[in-house]
Chain A
Amino acid sequence: MFADLEPLLPRVSKPVQYVGGELNAQLKDWESAAVRWALMYPDAYEVGLPNQGVMILYEVLNERADALAERCYAVWPDLEALMREHAVPAFTVDGHRPLGAFDLLGVSFATELGYTNLLTALDLAGIPLHAVDRTDEHPVVVAGGHAAFNPEPIADFVDVAALGDGEEVVGEITDVVRDWKAQGRPGGRAELLARLAAHDGCYVPSMYEVEYAPDGGIAAVRPREGAPVSVTKRTTSDLDSWPYPKAPLVPLAETVHERASVEIFRGCTRGCRFCQAGMITRPVRERSLRGIGEMVDAAVRASGFDEVGLLSLSSADHSEIAEITKGLADRYEGTNTGLSLPSTRVDAFNIDLANEISRNGRRSGLTFAPEGGSERIRRVINKMVSEDDLIRTVSEAFAQGWKQVKLYFMCGLPTEEDEDVLEIAGMAHRVIQAGRAASGRNDVRCTISIGGFVPKPHTPFQWAAQAHPDVVDERLRKLRDAVNSNRKLGRNIGMRYHDGRPSLIEGLLARGDRRVGRVIERVWREGGRFDGWSEHFSYDRWTAAARAELEPLGVSLEWFTTRERDRDEVLPWDHLDSGLDRDWLWDDWQDALSGTEQDDCRWTPCFDCGVCPSTGTDIEVGPSGTTLIPLTVVGGVGRGPTDGGASAGG
């Protein structure tokens, strides 16, 4: 159907994002595949294309002889309007086939703010918005990604939520669909969904009935016959045997991450209490030094990117990080191939690491995330970083010639008072003073970047009251005054924060139950799109929709967000098992309130969070005992045939 789309493209912004054909994109023969997946990232191409989850599943599925996968991304409102005008359905960018023609539509939700874009895609595809209205002819809509750990707000719109790591479960879902189709679709869609519900990691919301209590809370969640009482997440072990993506997609239009990424480990047990990713991806599973080296080599060769990001939730924590960075910097010396460590901690960080990372690439600023301004609040959130550690680290960085430090914080944390936030100013002032002393220059910079805290399911803060945006905005106004109270230091400090109001809506979507689905649908019907983009997000539209849809049911936006929950309340996601023991989470919440810290189980004894026994997994950390295979990076053109572009394995 590209012929239908093509005449519209000259009339929209950045049309190239809709044409497909990127390097390493795949287009398999439609008829060759028994099971066809459309994989969607529900945001714009520039955000969605670099998404690792979609790229991994795209390759894993396309490697199967009996399956194919094509990608799609959210279309901007300019194209959406033209598609409606000309009756062009939602399409994949690889084959430009209508989404409705696929067996499965997999949607990866990194954030809850993509929910309205799911509805746009379904509607443009002619797929009924409500799962209950779909027939055998419609794709099975599967939600994945971190937000799928509480899919209740989108329970009406999705058929299945896949919990946890996707590498294996997508193959198993493919098998179930293939067999059902081969058998002549016995029992229709209902039986297919029942078969999927019996499958590990697959939650089928329509097979659970939610009963509400008079106080507005949930009285019970009852599985229908055949559905398990609770659904446990999937965990991929031995990352070395899953070296995906092998050939990263190279975007045609500019994207937010113009680099290849290699995931060096998955999971995190630092135990930051605000961090949903760290809680739901346990245990820690490292890729080996050798495995990382091979993936970096493959990614650079296949893509031509000049930067490789070593991804994880806290990359400097890899047990072999020094060997990884030194080895890769040696390998790519003189080739203008840079490395980056997107997530680093002050205490796991050292300047040798930073120097290795920047050796062949660009020396941008250093970024740290103390997250909390005061020692007290950092104990509450279990981010065990002392201000003195931070100052020591940045002093050394400035002495080594770095000129800029970025610090990330959150505002609106549980138990937070004005003072906790105002201490950020003192910390920033000390950074500038230390930087000037260490570098002997006046022009050092510190940028403090602040986000509003959103309590998330499956974390110790799942019971916490979210701070109202007005409280957050007021604290940040006071912080700005405090930063500028010393003009000489303040002028070298930049402060960045966004409007706090989207965080409240994110909070509603994160901890909502099925009743929130009505709010999402109303917002979407009234034009809500791209809620992660400030130019498209409308707070008023969300609050009005929440009033209209929730208050007749005896609940409200505030009820879902700024209200603290008690221990006995049935949480909407209690029947979804991230492996974390509920009692442990509660105890950790109580520890947070008393400012008690929790160590990391990689270096101290197990503290019984419950994940390993309940998911049958274990920590997989090095040192792996492997070595980086030495590769000689040589030029290909203009050399003899024997050494042209080849590697010398060692």
Chain B
Amino acid sequence: MARVRPGEAANPAPPTVQRVRVRFAKRGRLRFLSHRDVARSFERAVRRAAVPVAHSHGFSPHPRLSWIGAAPTGSASEAEYVEIGLTRPVDPADLAAALDAALPAGLDVLDAVVAEGKGLADRIDASRWRVELPGVRSADLAAALDALLATDSLVVERVTPSGRRNIDVRAALVRAEVGGAGPGDAPVDTVPPDGHPGAGPTCAIMTAVVRQTTPAVRPDDVLGALDVVAGLRPPAPAKATRMAQGLLDHRGALADPLGSDRVTTRG
């Protein structure tokens, strides 16, 4: 083969002609995937599905996948987003079906639209989380949430690989309440009913809307804050699921970040 000469692109890659935004879920056991694990799974899935993904140029070409605020390792999600650069226009529904078939069960494609207008990052400033707290009674959770919401600022410490960071949970918390999913949420695992002593497992459900800050406030941080303000300490690990991401409206609801693309695409 001809050797690469200076000034030549090492790997002349076709340009990006279309971008598709994909909403996907991270479910069940695969909630233990880290963001890097998710990214690798997608890189392989686009190849298996023969999605005409664009690549960066150079000696180490990488598929053009752009990620938005990944749910932490251990958290499930019904609302993760990735934007895929393509070298050929495709029907987003075909792409969604092919990609879903190529991903391991538990990484499930929910929606795909052709990207238009503003970037995804500009359409997301908050997340709604649903957290199952096995062994916690709803009344105790309600009292703890009241205490937390009554504060102006509640800082918790998180240990990260790069050191300790202080995070103001209260400042990022838009809403928090006892109770299940709101309208429009995808169904999640069946939850044991709130029990009485001796009448089966107790499991309170918390719904929290959290503004996206840096560093991001995670469900674990909210639980840490409930421990600080009210001594609430679930006896078993909580299970968190991100139900939605989007722009906060004045009522504290989240607008679908793919909504305006869909209107444009289908209009």
A9 to B30, CA, bound (A): 12
Mark contacts of B12-52 with chain A using CB atoms, 8 A cut-off: 1 yes-contact digit, 0 otherwise.
00000000000000000110111011001101111111111
A2 to B28, CA, bound (A): 11
A250 to B60, CA, bound (A): 21
Q: Which A285-312 residues sit within 8 Å CB-CB of chain B?
A: 300-306
- A14 contact set on B, CB distance < 8 A: 34
Q: For the complex, would chain B's binding face be called helix, strand, loop or mixed by DSSP majority?
A: loop
How many A residues touch B, CB cutoff 8 Å? 42
Query: Do A7 and B236 form a contact, CB below 8 Å, given A15-B73, A252-B30?
Result: yes
- B41 contact set on A, CB distance < 8 A: 250, 252
Mark contacts of A5-34 with chain B using CB atoms, 8 A cut-off: 1 yes-contact digit, 0 otherwise.
001011100111011111100000000000
Is residue A634 contacting chain B, with contact meaning CB distance below 8 A?
yes
- A303 contact set on B, CB distance < 8 A: 44, 48
Q: Is the CB of B104 within 8 A of A21?
A: yes
Q: Is the CB of B61 within 8 A of A637?
A: no
Q: For the complex, would chain A's binding face be called helix, strand, loop or mixed by DSSP majority?
A: loop
Q: Is the CB of B237 within 8 A of A11?
A: yes
A635 to B98, CA, bound (A): 11
Is residue A605 contacting chain B, with contact meaning CB distance below 8 A?
no
Q: Is the CB of A306 within 8 A of B43?
A: yes
Interface window among A120-128, A355-363, A498-506, A566-574: A355-363
Task: For the complex formed, measure the closest distance between the CB of B13 and the CB atoms of chain A, giving whole angstroms.
Answer: 8
Interface window among B88-96, B176-184, B205-213, B242-250: B88-96
A103 to B33, CA, bound (A): 32
Q: Is the CB of B59 within 8 A of A362?
A: yes
- A253 contact set on B, CB distance < 8 A: 34, 37
Task: For the complex formed, measure the closest distance between the CB of A376 and the CB atoms of chain B, giving whole angstroms.
Answer: 37
- B99 contact set on A, CB distance < 8 A: 637
- A300 contact set on B, CB distance < 8 A: 47
Mark contacts of A229-255 with chain B using CB atoms, 8 A cut-off: 1 yes-contact digit, 0 otherwise.
000000000000000000000101110
- A11 contact set on B, CB distance < 8 A: 237
Is residue A336 contacting chain B, with contact meaning CB distance below 8 A?
yes
Is residue A645 contacting chain B, with contact meaning CB distance below 8 A?
yes
Task: For the complex formed, measure the closest distance between the CB of A433 and the CB atoms of chain B, giving whole angstroms.
Answer: 22
B residues adjacent to A (C-beta < 8 A): 1, 3-4, 11, 29-30, 32-34, 36-37, 40-41, 43-52, 55, 59-61, 63, 73-74, 88-91, 94-95, 98-99, 102, 104-106, 236-237
What are 30 of the A-B contact pairs (CB < 8 Å)? A2-B29, A7-B236, A7-B237, A9-B32, A19-B30, A19-B32, A20-B29, A21-B106, A23-B44, A250-B41, A252-B30, A252-B37, A253-B34, A300-B47, A303-B48, A304-B44, A304-B48, A305-B47, A306-B43, A336-B63, A355-B1, A363-B59, A635-B51, A636-B49, A636-B98, A637-B94, A638-B52, A638-B88, A638-B89, A645-B49
5 cross-chain pairs, A with B, having the tightest CB-CB distances, nearest first: A636-B50, A304-B44, A638-B90, A304-B48, A19-B29
